[in-house]
Amino acid sequence: MKIRYLFYLALLAFVVSCKPEVNEFTPSKGGADFTTYVAVGNSLTAGYADGALYKSGQSYSWANILGQQFATVGGGAFVQPVVTSEFGVLPGKRKLGLSTDCLGVQSLGPVLDNGELDPYTNHVDYAVNNLGVPGAKALHLLAPGYGNPANLAAGLANPYFVRFASTTDPNITVVGQAMSMSPTFFSLWIGNNDVLGYATSGGAGDVITDTLAFSEYYFGLIQTLTTGGAKGVVANIPGVTSTAFFTTIPSDVIDIPDTPEGQGYLAILNGEQGYAPYNAFMESHGLPYRITFAIGPNQMVIKDPAMSFYDLPEQLQIRQMVDGELALLTLPQDSIKCATWGSGVPVPDQYILTKAEIDYITSSTTAFNDIIYQAALAKGLAFVDVNAIMSEVATTGVTFDGITFTNTFVTGNLFSLDGIHLTPQGNAVVANYFIDAINGQYGAQIPKVSVANYPPIPFP
Amino acid sequence: MRKITLFLLSSLLFSMTVFAGGYQVRLQGNKQNGMGLVGTSLNMGSSSIFYNPGALSLMKDRFHFELGASGIMSNVDFQRAGSNENYQTDNPMSTPFYVYGAGKINDMITVGIGVYTPYGSTSKWDDNWTGKLLIQDIALKAIFVQPTVSFNFNEKFGIGAGFILAMGDVEINKAINYSNDAKANLKGSSTSYGFNIGAFYKVTDKLAFGVDYRSEIKMKVEGGDATFIVPASLQTTIPPTNKFNAELPLPANLDFSVSFQATEKLLLAFELDWVMWGTYKSLDFTFDKQGVLLDSKNPREYKDTYIPRIGAQYSLNDKFQLRAGMYYDQSPTNEKYFTPETVSLNTFAYTLGLSYNPIEKLSIDVSFLQLFGQTAEKEYTPDNFKGTYQTIVYIPGIGISYKF
């Protein structure tokens, strides 16, 4: 009797469950409508990477990833203004490769990757959902004629917008073109360039957008994007100074070896032919600046125009860097190694962020982020705290699927070969944070992507 | 009795979906397989070499030989946390086997030898699956050779001990994040030793007790072959060929069991197995070249488990015996360190068995097990790898035994 039951049970179990099947997740759109999604922003939204906007890099943009995931909850096609070249629209794409420095030493690093471009004059004639424009600041999204080729010569247009701006209205704004799509959902990630332009020029070119002006632009953008009742997600600005672009070259990169040559060079630097007169001058004028070198790593000598405050002549507006100041990835390494930059020759201002400049960037970033948060709050939008995420990346790193993301250049997996823009895996991470924010705000269940399914930085 | 058993079975089946057991495989006798893998208090002949060397000297026949194998067909389904992406294993069938032979030297002493495969694990995920940086596939095999001697004090009480020579092989493939096809292959083998001791006490004709201890064996791979497929520019930091050392513990078992001849035809048996998984703290690899860069420590932090088993045998007539059983195997894994290399979930299993004796000396034994791994969300925190797993395993087995 019992045996018979057992056999029945066995048969039942066999029939019911031949294969295991987990079904714990049902995609749903919650309180949002993803039918028409438009992405408004800058190079990060566009999918810019490795110093260029190129075909495969663009396909991995977090906005595109988001658009694909929205498709599981009723989202329509997400169309990007496709770049057809793997080398980009403008030259400057980098790849990992071997290069030989001025000392004849070969090393692996970013090198130019030249090839046939897809120039911006090849106009994209179809309507696009990804309106990310590399280089755009908040103001630019509202600027009439920013996509008008006639304005290029005057610097009032952006070739990346020119290539896909509607030709029916040559003075259409980026946000205006976004609205022409009648979006039901939008993302807005803008503001990075409002500080980044200043930061990547070492505080020497460009200016940081005025905070009041930023507030006006930002609320204006949000007002426009929500007029049709669209829901959306916004992201704030990361601390740009923790990106690999600013953290890769240490300020104490001047290494004087304990060799006869090193000792000799040291004697020159610290002697009457070197900085002894400078130190004497500073001392006699009661100023705290001193330049001294020792065996081992030394802080670089830099130009600091801010020292004009002390009425110093230009050739004395130099000093050694201090801990916490940053050298830019664009600083020519060969000039350090072979042309005594940083020791005999002061490093030009545009390669350095001084403490004062960093403070200015940080306080502006905080002010802008406050505005972004207030705008998100006022309109009940999903909000991605990229600034907090970036802090975590820069301090402890974050790990997904066995890949650890830090702000280390190349091996940190997050930043592509320009040190600022994201790798495909970095884009996937960002897309997942956006999805988390949207799911949280709108009670949606948009599936997240597998970070490990995206390619790493290719090594030669 | 019948009602209680049925009730227990159905409630287990429906309240907890099922499987576990790390990489231990206790399929060492097709008669025992059919009875919920209970064996320590049974005297089924030469398979006592594995289940309880103490029972060996009390076997009824002068010579006894057993030979058999099982086919483990396992399927794992994984769904990433926060997503509807599913991934399945494509595990090849693994085939644990056993061979035993035993003979009585005299009334008191019996000797025997067994060759069996009590540990093994084969998980084959797709090369490009979402967890490829943790594991693509792993094959772990161990063959034990155990010469055994058993001694009985009287017709009721026997003790026995076996020396174990354990030969292990392991091969692991995993992707590394340097290019789309960069990967590491680790391949090694080991030879180690252990022992198996047991005592068997037949209190009455109807009631028997057994206890058995199998020692821990550390599978030590020394100088295993590591092959790294990486882009050319990285081959100075990651040498394409390397040697590695690693150690994987095969845990000790302490089994307590009681069997009871309820009626002339019905034999019931119960067992509790204490599996000392707590010894498995970490899976560490150290490399000869570039050790600083490549060495890895991978926490596992397993905990001991206790497996309750119940089995029954019903003698239909002289020619047929029917068997059934079930057990509940907890997962030894740690909440924070559940990896897809050994998908070990809390598992419920039921077992069925049948023996046919065409002649008195020969028995043909078949068994069938079905294991259900409890659907559970698990995480490997060091890699932030999280998702829900479910497993279903089918294990048909066949064996023969011959006595004279």
Calpha distance A265→A274 (Å, rounded): 10
Q: What is the pLDDT of residues A65-113, one digit of tens each?
A: 999 999 999 999 999 999 999 999 999 999 999 989 999 998 899 999 9
Does residue A31 lie within any of the structural domains?
Answer: no
Residues A173 and A212 placed together within one structural domain of the fold: yes
CB burial of B182-195 (b: ≥16 within 10 Å; e: otherwise) equals: bbbebbbbbebebe
Domain extent for A422: 37-247+356-453
Report the Cα–Cα distance between both ends of chain A, in Å, rounded: 70
* Pairs of residues, one from chain A and one from chain B, whose beta carbons lie less than 8 Å apart: 133
Contacts of B389 in chain A (CB under 8 A): 22
Does residue A74 lie within any of the structural domains?
Answer: yes
pLDDT tens digit at each of 404 positions of chain B: 334 333 333 333 222 222 345 678 889 999 999 999 999 999 999 999 999 999 999 998 999 999 999 998 888 999 999 999 999 998 888 889 999 999 999 999 999 999 999 888 788 999 999 999 999 999 888 899 999 999 999 999 999 999 999 999 999 999 999 888 899 999 999 999 999 999 999 999 999 999 999 999 999 999 999 999 999 988 988 999 999 999 999 999 999 999 999 999 999 999 999 999 999 999 999 999 988 888 989 999 999 999 999 999 999 999 999 999 999 999 999 999 999 988 888 999 999 999 999 999 999 999 999 988 889 999 999 999 999 999 989 999 999 999 99
Calpha distance A342→B98 (Å, rounded): 74
Residues A297 and A433 placed together within one structural domain of the fold: no
Q: What residue of B is the nearest CA neighbor of A458? A: B179
Does residue A362 lie within any of the structural domains?
Answer: yes
Residues A323 and A415 placed together within one structural domain of the fold: no
**Residue for token pair 């882009």:** B231
Partner B contacted by A19 (CB < 8 A): yes
Residues A309 and A172 placed together within one structural domain of the fold: no
Q: Which of residues 38-97 of A touch B (CB under 8 A)?
A: 72, 96
Contacts of A402 in chain B (CB under 8 A): 131, 133-134, 177, 383-385
CB burial of B54-63 (b: ≥16 within 10 Å; e: otherwise) equals: bbbbbbebeb
Q: Which of B6, B134, B388 sits opposite A5 (nearest CB)?
A: B6
Cβ within 8 Å, pair B80-A450: yes
Partner A contacted by B340 (CB < 8 A): no
DSSP H/E element including A379: helix A355-379
Residues A309 and A161 placed together within one structural domain of the fold: no
Does residue A26 lie within any of the structural domains?
Answer: no
Does residue A70 lie within any of the structural domains?
Answer: yes
Two tokens, residue B186: 């680790």
Does residue A346 lie within any of the structural domains?
Answer: no
* Domain boundary residue, one of A328, A348, A374: A328
Does residue A338 lie within any of the structural domains?
Answer: no
The CA-based angle B219-B223-B224, given to 5 degrees, is 70
Q: What is the ipTM of this complex?
A: 0.87
Residues A182 and A101 placed together within one structural domain of the fold: yes
Cβ within 8 Å, pair A460-B233: yes
Q: Which of A446, A447, A457, A450 is nearest to A424 (CA)?
A: A457
Residues A312 and A404 placed together within one structural domain of the fold: no
* Alpha helices for B35-149 (secondary structure H): 48-51, 53-56
Does residue A30 lie within any of the structural domains?
Answer: no
Two tokens, residue A446: 């948009």
CATH number at residue B139: 2.40.160.60
Residues A239 and A379 placed together within one structural domain of the fold: yes
CATH number at residue A367: 3.40.50.1110
Domain extent for B224: 2-403
Smallest CA–CA distance, residue B75 to chain A, in Å, is 7
* Domain boundary residue, one of A292, A313, A328: A328
Calpha distance A265→A275 (Å, rounded): 12
**Long-range CB pairs of A121-127, under 8 A, 24+ apart, other chains included:** A121/A149, A121/A163, A122/A84, A122/A163, A123/A162, A123/A163, A123/A164, A123/A167, A124/A81, A124/A82, A124/A163, A124/A164, A125/A167, A126/A79, A127/A79, A127/A180, A127/A181
Please name the amino acid found at residue B232.
A
Q: What is the pLDDT of residues A148-169, one digit of tens each?
A: 999 999 999 999 999 999 999 9
Partner B contacted by A455 (CB < 8 A): yes
* Angle subtended by helix axes B2-15 and A2-16, to nearest 10: 10
Count up the domains in chain A and report the number: 2
Model's pTM, two decimal places?
0.91
Count up the domains in chain B and report the number: 1
Partner A contacted by B178 (CB < 8 A): yes
